[in-house]
């Protein structure tokens, strides 16, 4: 069996067992009939390989798979990880499935098309992760889009946050002791110092970002109830890909769908709503309605000035 195929096997086993328990024979049939196995030319899957895969799945994904039910020889997932680990697992599985498709077919450029984009700064990801875990002071040069200047920064790194396919470093700036976010794509000349910082920060970032949209909510703010009215067509897209974990559908009629959110009405969220144009309207709170109206009026004025 191909040595570089193990991650794909793990993803397929988890996918099958998340659907329902299965015997070794059922798992073997499922795997061998999968397009992944067919494309790789794999025609066998032994019980020893399954047992080894189960051990590795437990180590890698924190998923416990057993087949010790009384009178039942089916394998099943005994335990589910906590939410944050489950999110990590989903990311890993998605990455494995995509990377395997690309590895099996080197000529994928004729079939798969990625968005053209510049570097996201992921080359610094592990160094930052190491610095956070070991409480190392870091220094770097940071590019500011507003003033188009590079500035020297010295920070205490605390967390990494993903938002809209970008990664951000959350850190305390040693200059003013303020919590800030730094886009990894704008960090240059990163240096992880040997010096450790001694400050004991008490931020609970999972709670901190629970009611945030993006990474803009680094100050203490109170989340608000936000109500959106969407066209029926756009509402279906928002149902299938929620804007935020607090999203709830509260009403529906033949032409419109209404959603409720509980979050901070940040600039990031306003930009997201504006991207839907006339398909989405904010009904509450009034402060957000006023902000969007003012923004739309400024945009209209800018176009009127072009004539």
Query: What pLDDT digit, counting tens, does each position of 112-133 carry?
Result: 666 666 667 778 888 999 999 9
CB neighbour list of residue 1: distance below 8 Å, 6 or more residues apart: 42, 44, 45, 49
What's the half-sphere exposure (Cβ side, CA atoms, 13 Å) at 111?
8
Q: Could you give the CA distance from residue 262 to residue 285 in angstroms, rounded to a whole number?
A: 11
Domains 3-108 and 122-203 share a fold: no
Mean pLDDT in order along the chain per 10 residues (307 residues): 70 86 92 86 90 87 75 75 58 68 64 66 86 94 87 94 85 91 92 92 82 69 88 92 90 93 86 92 93 92 83
What are the extents of the domains in the chain?
A: 3-108, 122-203, 224-304
Burial 28-53 (b: 16+ CB within 10 A, else e): bebbeebebbeebebeebeeeebeeb
β-pair partners for 167: 162
Report, at the CATH architecture level, how domain 122-203 is classified: Roll (2.30)
Confirm if 193 and 174 have CB atoms less than 8 A apart: no
Q: What pLDDT shows up at residue 247?
A: 92
Q: What pLDDT shows up at residue 230?
A: 95
Q: What pLDDT shows up at residue 6?
A: 79
Q: What pLDDT shows up at residue 39?
A: 79
Q: What pLDDT shows up at residue 96?
A: 65
CATH class held by domain 3-108: mainly alpha
Burial 106-129 (b: 16+ CB within 10 A, else e): eeeeeeeeeeeeeeebeebeebbe
**Secondary-structure breakdown of the chain: helix, strand, coil percentages, each rounded to the nearest 5:** 45, 25, 30
- Tell me which residue of 292, 283, 276 sits closest to 231, measured CA to CA: 276
């Amino acid at each position: 069996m191909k040595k570089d195929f193990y991650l794909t096997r793990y993803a397929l086993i988890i996918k099958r067992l998340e659907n329902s328990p299965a015997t070794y024979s059922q798992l073997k049939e499922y795997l061998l009939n999968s397009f992944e196995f067919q494309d790789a030319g794999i025609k066998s899957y032994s019980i020893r390989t399954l047992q080894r895969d189960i051990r590795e799945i437990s180590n890698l994904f924190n998923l416990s798979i057993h087949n010790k039910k009384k009178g039942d020889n089916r394998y099943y997932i005994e335990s589910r990880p906590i939410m944050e680990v489950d999110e990590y697992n989903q990311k890993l599985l998605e990455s494995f499935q995509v990377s395997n498709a690309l590895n099996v077919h080197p000529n994928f450029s004729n079939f798969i098309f990625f968005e053209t984009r510049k570097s996201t700064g992921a080359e610094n990801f592990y160094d930052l992760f190491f610095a956070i875990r070991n409480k190392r002071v870091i220094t770097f040069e940071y590019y500011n889009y507003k003033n188009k200047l590079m500035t020297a920064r010295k920070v205490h790194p605390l967390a990494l946050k993903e938002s809209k396919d970008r990664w951000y470093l959350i850190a305390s700036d040693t200059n003013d002791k303020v919590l800030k976010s730094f886009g990894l794509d704008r960090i240059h000349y990163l240096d992880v110092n040997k010096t450790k910082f001694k400050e004991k920060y008490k931020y609970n970032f999972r709670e901190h970002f629970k009611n945030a949209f993006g990474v803009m909510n680094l100050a203490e703010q109170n989340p608000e109830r936000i109500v959106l009215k969407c066209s029926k067509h756009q509402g279906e897209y928002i149902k299938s890909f929620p804007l935020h974990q607090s999203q709830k559908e509260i009403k529906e009629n033949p032409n419109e769908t209404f959603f409720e959110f509980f979050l901070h009405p940040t600039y990031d969220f306003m930009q997201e709503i504006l991207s839907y144009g006339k398909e989405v309207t904010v009904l509450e709170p009034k402060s957000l309605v006023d902000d969007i109206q003012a923004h739309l009026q400024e945009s209209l004025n800018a176009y009127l000035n072009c004539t």
